[in-house]
Each structure stands twice: as structure tokens, then as C-alpha cells.
Copies of this chain bind each other. A is one copy, B any other.
């Protein structure tokens, strides 16, 4: 493969001149044309490895996601990747599979590869490597999940308005015994969703007693199904259930079906996270949609700010209620958006 020296020889100039032409610095039209001609003839492409060594910038970002097989994260990763690419960066994606050890292992690899910046949707909270990233001051952005003690901007969605709308929606449909299936203990974001929902319900004068709050051991359909079973076995079972993650919602749906109960007739079901599949379940599931692609884009922008040495604030984007049919039918207040059938950018 041709290198810069070959180009220089062919154009009858020095390597410095070639480099300057290619980086848009100074040289005069006539020289420039000769260089560009040589580049074209040889099919020359700069060696990014050599460039990275010299400039200490790889134009590569890292993304460590907690579970790639969760469709929410898949879409997030896709959005991040597209935006990074649009801005001239490559992306290395690591899948931590909800394991803090694997996550640390990944971060290590990414640091070794001298990525310019890192985005992490952290599994667990006490990551030693995250601390290392901060202390090395490699630009870092937390995605979807804040981590206590890690001083880095966090990009995530917040459900206050959506959950307020949801409480109103449920109240209007006559639901009086709500329940919540929350994420495993220790994931701060689950707690927050629970609290916001509780407050929203209070605004409708609906109580959310402790026995109707169950915490799944993991973010999986199996966990969701077990929790739904527990709820339906209650002496006074709920008439509406919110699952704080899409996979748990899916398991919950299975359990309702397995019992031969009907949605929304016997129990309403709402998922936090709106994934494309929810429009295709039977019935289509009402969901709290996070602005997934916007989150991805915002994460990249925030990270680039950090990379360029500027301060960057955390970003909190509003989630929105997407009412479908799993709670019953109700005319939509005008500020709800319609369906989210195709959220592709």
C-alpha cells in the first residue's frame, strides 16, 4: 500500500508538503494539484494508525452498553453509532451483559486502544475502572444511568410528565389499584421512576401501597413474569401494572396470558421503554417512550464537547406517554404525541 513517501516522490515534493495539502494547510494551487493527482493515481489513503500515534487522537469513541440484546439499548447504540459516524468518528461497542466485571474489562480494553472518549451505560454502581477513567481524565459521558461518585455529565430521559400523564390516563379509565414492577435493587433509575409514578398517582388521589411494589431480581422477561405472578396472587390483585423496563413488561405480558386473563379487561399493562415490538403485541402495549435516538445523539455531542475541552452539562430529555390499547380506550389529550411507529431518524 502506498504511503505518504510514495506520494511525495511521485509529486516531486517532500512528505511535509503532502501532509500539508491533505490537512488543508497553506500550499499553493499548483503544488496542491500535483499532490492531489499523485494521491489519486496511487489510491493513497493516510494510515490512521500512524496519524493516531503522532497526534494522540484516534477519532474513535467507545460505548459500553449494559445489554445489547435489550432492544432499548440496541436502538441507543445504533443512534450513537450513526451520530458518531456523521461527525467523523468510529465507534467500538462493548456489551457488558449487565456484569460489572465484564464492563470493567471492556473499559480497560477501550482505554488501551486510546479512544478519544467513552460513553457508558453502567451495569452496577461501584466500578473501579470508571474511577480510573475519571482520574486519567479521559472524556466520559454516562448514558441512561447515573453513577454516584462519578463526576461526569449524564445523558438520560426523565419521566415526570409522562408518568403524570399516565396516572391521569389510568385514573380516567377507572383504575384504582396500580402496581409497579421495578428494576433490581441498586439501579438508581428504577427508584426514580417509582418515585415519580408514586407522586403522579398521589396527584390523582390514588395510593400505591408497598405490597404492590415488587422488585425483580434481574432485567429479564423471566424476572418480569415472576413478579407479575406475585402481583396476581395477591389477595387484592392490581388492576394496572407498570413495568419499569421493556423486557420485564414482556414477561409480565406472558404471565397474564398464561393465566387466561385479558388485557386490558382484567388488568392494564404499561411498559417503561417503548420498543418497536410493542406496537405488534396483542394488544399493542401502552408505553412510556424514551427519546432513544435523541439520547444517543445528545450523548455523542456532550462527549465531543468534553473532548474539545469544554464543560458540558448533563442532559435530561423528557419521556412521553404513548397510549395504545393495553389500558383501555380513552380520547387523547392534545399534548400527547401520536403513535411512535417509526422513530427512526
Give a binary string over A92-118; 1 marks a CB under 8 Å from any B CB, 0 the rest.
111100000000000001011110000
Q: Kindly state whether residue A28 has any CB partner on chain B within 8 Å.
A: no
Given contacts A1-B136, A276-B69, contact A95 B113 (CB under 8 A): no
Q: Known contacts A53-B49, A114-B49, A257-B282: does B92 contact A90 (CB below 8 Å)?
A: yes
Collect the chain B residues with CB atoms within 8 Å of residue A111's CB. 45
Q: Can you list 20 residue pairs at the A/B interface with Cβ under 8 Å?
A: A45-B112, A48-B112, A48-B113, A49-B53, A49-B113, A49-B114, A53-B53, A60-B113, A68-B81, A71-B74, A78-B95, A81-B95, A82-B95, A90-B109, A90-B113, A93-B93, A221-B280, A250-B277, A257-B282, A282-B282
Known contacts being A92-B90, A112-B48, is A69 close to B58, with CB within 8 Å? no
* Besides A45-B111, A68-B81, A281-B281, 19 new A-B residue pairs in contact (Cβ under 8 A), listed by A number: A47-B53, A48-B112, A49-B52, A50-B53, A53-B53, A68-B74, A68-B78, A69-B75, A69-B276, A74-B74, A81-B93, A81-B95, A82-B95, A85-B94, A90-B109, A92-B92, A221-B280, A250-B277, A281-B282
Residues in B with CB closer than 8 Å to A92 are 90-92
CB of A294 closer than 8 Å to a CB of B: no
B280 and A254 within 8 A (CB)? yes
- Is A166 interfacial (CB-CB < 8 Å)? no
Q: Which residue of B lies closest to A73 (CB)?
A: B74
